[in-house]
Every structure is written in structure tokens, then in C-alpha cells.
């Protein structure tokens, strides 16, 4: 039996430079990232909309 995705399975990621939060459940529709988009599925060349750093400068938040 497989578990269906729920909001609890989505993670949040924080920019260590400016504190911007990327929430997988919400996505960033204004950036062309649909709700439910996993962090690993965000383009590698995506940058923080607030400060411009890359995904390398984001850390997963604890649940």
C-alpha cells in the first residue's frame, strides 16, 4: 500500500542569506513554480527572489 502525498510530506527550505522560505506545498506560482513542486524539481539555476543566491544557499527546515 502506497501512501498518498499530504501536506505533512511537503518540506520547507530557507535561504540562509536572507531568510526567504520556499514551501513545497505552496510553490511559487509568481515564479512559474506550481504548488506541490518538490525542492529537487526546482530548476538548478533558480535563484532566491529576495536576494538572488542559488539553491546551494538554502537549508531544509525541520518538520
Binding residues for Fe cation are: 15, 18, 48, 51
- Cβ pair 13, 59 in contact under 8 A: yes
Which of 2, 4, 7, 3 is closest to 36 using CA atoms?
A: 7
pLDDT at 63: 79
Taking the chain (63 residues) in consecutive chunks of 10 residues, what is each chunk's mean pLDDT?
60 98 98 97 97 98 89
Domains identified in the chain and CATH numbers: 12-61 (2.20.28.10)
pLDDT at 5: 53
**Residue 41, C-beta contacts closer than 8 angstroms, at least 6 positions apart:** none
Binding residues are: 15, 18, 48, 51
- Cβ pair 58, 13 in contact under 8 A: yes
pLDDT at 1: 44
pLDDT at 8: 59
CA distance 47 to 51: 8
Amino acid at each position: 500500500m502506497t501512501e498518498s502525498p499530504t501536506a505533512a510530506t511537503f518540506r520547507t527550505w530557507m535561504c540562509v542569506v536572507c531568510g526567504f522560505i520556499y514551501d513545497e506545498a505552496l510553490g511559487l506560482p509568481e515564479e512559474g513554480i506550481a504548488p506541490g513542486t518538490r525542492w529537487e524539481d526546482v530548476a538548478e539555476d533558480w535563484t532566491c527572489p529576495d536576494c538572488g543566491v542559488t539553491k546551494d544557499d538554502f537549508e531544509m527546515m525541520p518538520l
